[in-house]
């Protein structure tokens, strides 16, 4: 039973990362009906940026650790948001009115480009996050030893998701995003600047993805230039599980996938962990293609 709960909390921590990345996929898919394949690599980029800021700006030495991490998070989110914005302008904006395959191929190209740019800059080997910031202690929660890092990760991802949820549900800009996702033409008629909203979505999504990258670096301690492909695909699967285009769905899907994967690795076999995610995807698409929370079925898939 202890093993079960350990795997459960581990799954939730990783699931938080999946959920944060999945939000970027689901928001972009919501407004553009495009799988942004480069999103996984923006996540990697965030991870590397976080490491760079921590090491080269000596953030971890000069400031109290908590403050250093907060500043680093904000810097990473800002930088990745900017690169998301540039990516959209360079690779997707010129393809707004072309067949969907064109934009998908462009996204794949952008993904290859980003991944190799990161590799050329940082090198093809594993990079290590500074150890001083990785808390290895654990606390006793209801008789269970839970590593503090998991609790911190889960709280940060839940905090970011709540912030996004309130932003999209309660603010004027958030309403505009939902309007564009529902019907672009009608949103334009209501006076919403659709291009600005799409730019905004391409900044929010990558910002969350970048934050997820930093969390991953802090959790596992090592990162690699090509990890974005796998995490990106899994996060996209999480978005489909929850119902693509649906923001709470992406959060739920991410957590669910994280927990299922941790359970699968523990009770079936760790070697089949990656295959499990794809198996879940195929099963979901056969039996409930709109996902768990997806309700819009106007478009037949």
Q: Which residues bind other proteins (CB under 8 A)?
A: 34-35, 90-91, 94-95, 98-106, 108-117, 120, 229, 233, 236-237, 240, 269, 271-272, 274-275, 278-279, 281-282, 285-286, 289, 299-301
Q: Pick from 166, 167, 163, 143: which is nearest to 155 by CA?
A: 163
Instruction: Tell me the backbone φ, ψ of residue 140, rounded to 5 degrees.
Output: -95, 115
- The nearest distance, CB 212 to other proteins, in angstroms, is 19
Least distance (Å) between residue 35 CB and other proteins: 5
Q: 146 pairs with which residues across the strands?
A: 139
Residue 111: Cβ-neighbour burial (10 angstroms; 0-12, 13-18, 19+): buried
Least separation in angstroms between residue 104's CB and other proteins is: 6
Cβ-proximal residues to 46 (8 Å cutoff; 6+ apart), any chain: 76, 77, 79, 80, 206, 209, 210, 211, 212, 213, 214
Nearer to other proteins, 67 or 90 (CB): 90
Give 92 or 219: the residue with its C-beta nearer to other proteins. 92
Is the Cβ of residue 248 or residue 289 nearer to other proteins in the bound state? 289
Q: What whole-number distance in Å separates Cα of residue 64 and Cα of residue 213?
A: 22
Which CB sits closer to other proteins, 41 or 211?
41
* Nearest to other proteins of 103, 252 (CB atom): 103
Q: How many CB atoms within 10 Å of residue 266?
A: 17
Half-sphere exposure of 58 (CA within 13 A, CB side): 2
CB of 132 to other proteins, least distance (A): 33
Q: 66 vs 271, which CB is nearer to other proteins? A: 271
Q: Are 208 and 164 in contact (CB under 8 A)?
A: yes
Which CB sits closer to other proteins, 156 or 284? 284
* Helix or strand (DSSP H, E) at 144: strand 144-147
For residue 293, CA distances in Å to 193, 242, 253, 272, 287 come to: 28, 6, 9, 27, 14
Taking the C-alpha atoms of residue 198 and residue 183, their distance in angstroms, rounded to an integer, is 13
**Between 29 and 73, CB nearer to other proteins:** 29
Report the C-alpha gap between 127 and 227 in whole angstroms. Answer: 12
Question: What is the smallest separation between the CB atom of 117 and other proteins, expressed in angstroms?
Answer: 6
- Taking Cα atoms as reference points, which of 173, 150, 107, 217 lies closest to residue 6? 150
């Amino acid at each position: 039973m202890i093993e079960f709960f350990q795997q459960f909390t581990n799954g939730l921590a990783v699931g938080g990362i999946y959920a944060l990345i999945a939000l970027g996929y689901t928001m972009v898919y919501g407004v553009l009906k495009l799988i942004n394949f480069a999103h996984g690599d923006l996540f990697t980029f965030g991870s590397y940026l976080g490491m760079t800021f921590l090491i080269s700006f000596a953030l971890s030495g000069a400031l109290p650790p908590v403050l250093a991490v907060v500043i680093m998070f904000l810097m990473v989110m800002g930088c990745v948001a900017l690169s998301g914005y540039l990516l959209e302008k360079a690779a997707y904006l010129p393809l707004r009115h072309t067949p969907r395959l064109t934009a998908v191929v462009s996204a794949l190209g952008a993904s290859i480009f980003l991944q190799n740019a990161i590799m050329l800059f940082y090198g093809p080997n594993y990079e290590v996050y500074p150890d001083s910031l990785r808390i290895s202690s654990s606390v006793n929660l209801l008789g269970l030893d839970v590593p503090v890092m998991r609790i911190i990760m889960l709280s940060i991802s839940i905090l970011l998701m709540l912030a996004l949820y309130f932003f999209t549900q309660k603010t004027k800009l958030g309403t505009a995003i939902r309007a564009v996702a529902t019907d672009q033409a009608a949103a334009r008629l209501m006076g919403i600047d659709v291009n600005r909203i799409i730019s905004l979505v391409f900044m929010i999504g990558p910002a969350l993805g970048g934050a997820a990258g930093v969390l991953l670096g802090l959790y596992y301690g090592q990162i690699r230039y090509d990890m974005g492909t796998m995490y990106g695909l899994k996060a996209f699967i999480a978005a489909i599980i929850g119902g693509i285009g649906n923001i709470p769905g992406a959060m739920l899907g991410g957590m669910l996938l994280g927990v299922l994967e941790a359970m699968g690795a523990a009770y079936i076999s760790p070697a089949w962990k990656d295959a499990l995610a794809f198996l879940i995807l195929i099963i979901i698409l056969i039996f409930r293609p709109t996902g768990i929370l997806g309700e819009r079925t106007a478009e037949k898939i």
